[in-house]
Amino acid sequence: MSNRSVSQIVDREYLELRGKLLELAASFDRVDRASGASDPRLNLIRQGLGLLTDDKPEKALRLQQLFSREYSVNWRSELGV
Amino acid sequence: MYYIDPHIHMVSRTTDDYETLARMGCVAMSEPAFWAGFDRGSVDGFRDYFRQLTEVEPRRAAQFGIQHFTWLCINAKEAENVELSREVIAMIPEFIKCQNVLGIGEIGLNKNTRNEATVFLEHLELAARLDQLILIHTPHLEDKFQGSRMILDMLQGDSRLKPERVLVDHVEEHTIRHVLDAGFWAGMTLYPITKCTPARAADMIEIYGTERLCVNSAGDWGPSKPTAVPDLIIELRRRDHGESAIRKIVYENPIKFFKQSSNFKFRAPTDE
């Protein structure tokens, strides 16, 4: 657990967070202006965005899991190793 | 603050970078064998590379008062060529007694394939037979979680390998707990986009503590930053972490892990 208060963290990171949000918004604007069919990878990106605004902890860990291939305990037999 | 970079690919860096690292407080480094950006065609290509790691880079580092250590292997990308991999593994004992060699590394997985796993297991066999420390490369991006779990499964499947003698590198938020809970050392690589930023590394230090945790720059031929470890030092200071805790991460922990190798004859800086 961090010893810093919420205000201390926001004081330091507010402009940085605002800037990151603007970069995301601009990226989605570019996608909106682009031609052609949608790309399935955008679904993952949208799921990730949803995860950022839920009320659960460990957002970075869960975002990593969202973008990860699953592990199978039977990987040796599946690969023939 | 003096620091040690436990994972940096100096064959990809200029001599000016050595000077900059020395100015930033780097007193020692270890350089794992890795992919050169292209697949090498023969075992002799690796023999020349191992000479570079054991003869040339230590001299280049010493010009700036930096001690250079290294690790030997064929990396996971080139491990798809099993025949070449076996030739390289058979050659490693020629170099293992060189003064700056700490062990076998960076071995691991890249795309988590059958061939990569086969060559990884043969490296583990060599390390166990020669009683060497092991430095692990974990895959990037969507392959990291799956590959890291496969690597841990293979490590834990060999009772000759002691977890405290293995450093698993490139951990991130979704893999660090698995590595530390199994008793291995964990390394966080500060690297743009595909690995970890100084801020996220500082977050993981706050969550998991400082035991068996190291931090490195990778500093390779990609868009990396060889001075990334000092960036983490600054980030931790901005968060009011004490100097002793920072020193443990960037200096004492690498020494504690490396000194398990008889080749780690580290000369600590003194006031005399």
**ipTM of predicted assembly, 2 dp:** 0.93
Report chain A residues whose CB lies below 8 A from the CB of B238: 12
Residue A54, both tokens: 């839920």
**Is the CB of B140 inside 8 Å of chain A's CB atoms?**
no
Per the CB < 8 Å rule, is B153 touching A61? no
Which whole number is the average pLDDT over A5-27? 96
| Confidence at residue A2, expressed as pLDDT on a 0 to 100 scale | 66
Distance from CA of A80 to the nearest CA of B (A): 7
Give the least confident one: A2-16, A20-34, B49-63.
A2-16
Has residue B192 got a pLDDT over 80?
no
**Is the CB of B143 inside 8 Å of chain A's CB atoms?**
yes
Which whole number is the average pLDDT over B227-237? 97
Which whole number is the average pLDDT over A27-41? 96
Dist CA B241 CA A27 (whole Å): 36
Distance from CA of B100 to the nearest CA of A (A): 34
| Confidence at residue B195, expressed as pLDDT on a 0 to 100 scale | 75
CA distances from B247 to A27, B2, B8, B38, B272 (A): 40, 8, 19, 37, 21
Residue of A1, A68, A81 with shortest CB distance to B174:
A68
Work out the mean pLDDT of chain B and round it to a whole number: 96
Interface A-B: count of C-beta contacts within 8 A? 52
Report chain B residues whose CB lies below 8 A from the CB of A45: none
Per the CB < 8 Å rule, is A69 touching B240? no
Per the CB < 8 Å rule, is B145 touching A64? yes
Question: Using CA of residue B202, residue B203, residue B208, residue B213, what is the dihedral sign?
Answer: negative
| Confidence at residue B23, expressed as pLDDT on a 0 to 100 scale | 98
**Is the CB of B150 inside 8 Å of chain A's CB atoms?**
yes
**Is the CB of A61 inside 8 Å of chain B's CB atoms?**
yes
Has residue B271 got a pLDDT over 70?
no
Residue B166's contacts (CB-CB under 8 Å, 6 or more residues apart) are: B133, B134, B135, B136, B155, B184, B185
Per the CB < 8 Å rule, is B174 touching A64? yes
Which whole number is the average pLDDT over B90-109? 98
Dist CA B159 CA B136 (whole Å): 17
| Confidence at residue B94, expressed as pLDDT on a 0 to 100 scale | 97
Strands B3-5, B185-189: pairing is unpaired
Residue of A60, A68, A79 with shortest CB distance to B114:
A79
| Confidence at residue B270, expressed as pLDDT on a 0 to 100 scale | 84
DSSP label at B11?
Answer: G
* 8 A C-beta contact, residue B68 and residue B108: no
Maximum CA extent, chain A = 54
User: Which of B168, B120, B166, B171 has the alpha carbon at shortest distance from B145?
Assistant: B171
Q: Give the DSSP H or E segment for B57.
A: helix B57-62
**Is the CB of B80 inside 8 Å of chain A's CB atoms?**
no
Half-sphere exposure of B153 (CA within 13 A, CB side): 16
Dist CA B78 CA B76 (whole Å): 6
Per the CB < 8 Å rule, is B146 touching A68? yes
Which whole number is the average pLDDT over B11-35? 97
| Confidence at residue B272, expressed as pLDDT on a 0 to 100 scale | 59
| Confidence at residue B191, expressed as pLDDT on a 0 to 100 scale | 87
**Is the CB of A8 inside 8 Å of chain B's CB atoms?**
no
User: Which of B244, B171, B242, B150 has the alpha carbon at shortest distance from B213?
Assistant: B171
Distance from CA of A57 to the nearest CA of B (A): 13
Has residue A14 got a pLDDT over 70?
yes
Per the CB < 8 Å rule, is B118 touching A81? yes
Per the CB < 8 Å rule, is B141 touching A80? no
| Confidence at residue A3, expressed as pLDDT on a 0 to 100 scale | 78
